């Protein structure tokens, strides 16, 4: 599935990414049309590690064990890629009456 994603991204440069804070369900979707795949740098690996730690800490606040919270966030640093893009649009995705509203 990842291979299909990469091929589609290279062909269209279109991307949509959703970011959500589990403890509040606050979510936004960011869309772009100029996405480029780049080699991940050591600083990107460090950022991934920080993001995983923050994600796990947020789930621990909800009562999950840290190991469980990290289980779905495993990766191989040598397989990491970076995707850069310019946001074209940002949408509210938090459940509720404003979901789908352009920000």
Is there a domain that residue 32 lies in?
A: yes
Is there a domain that residue 16 lies in?
A: yes
Is there a domain that residue 99 lies in?
A: no
Is there a domain that residue 101 lies in?
A: no
pLDDT for residue 1 is more than 80: no
At 53-95, the pLDDT tens digits run: 999 999 999 999 999 989 989 999 999 999 999 999 999 999 9
Tokens of 45: 């690996």
Say what the pLDDT of residue 72 is: 85
Is there a domain that residue 102 lies in?
A: no
Say what the pLDDT of residue 2 is: 78
Mean per-residue pLDDT over the chain, rounded = 95
Is there a domain that residue 77 lies in?
A: yes
Domain range for residue 20?
A: 2-92
State how many domains the chain has: 1
Say what the pLDDT of residue 30 is: 99
Phi/psi at 65 (5° precision): -70, 145
Is there a domain that residue 41 lies in?
A: yes
Is there a domain that residue 100 lies in?
A: no
Rounded to whole angstroms, what are the CA distances from 40 to 36, 64, 82, 89, 91? 12, 30, 5, 25, 27
């Amino acid at each position: 599935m990842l291979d299909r994603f990469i091929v589609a991204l290279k062909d269209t440069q279109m991307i949509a990414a959703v970011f959500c804070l589990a403890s509040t369900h606050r979510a936004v979707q960011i869309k772009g049309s100029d996405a480029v795949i780049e080699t991940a740098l050591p600083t990107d690996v460090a950022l991934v590690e920080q993001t995983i730690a923050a994600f796990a800490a947020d789930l621990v606040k909800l009562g999950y064990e840290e190991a469980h919270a990290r289980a779905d966030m495993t990766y191989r640093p040598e397989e990491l890629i970076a995707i850069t893009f310019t946001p074209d649009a940002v949408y509210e995705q938090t459940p509720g009456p404003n979901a789908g509203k352009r920000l």
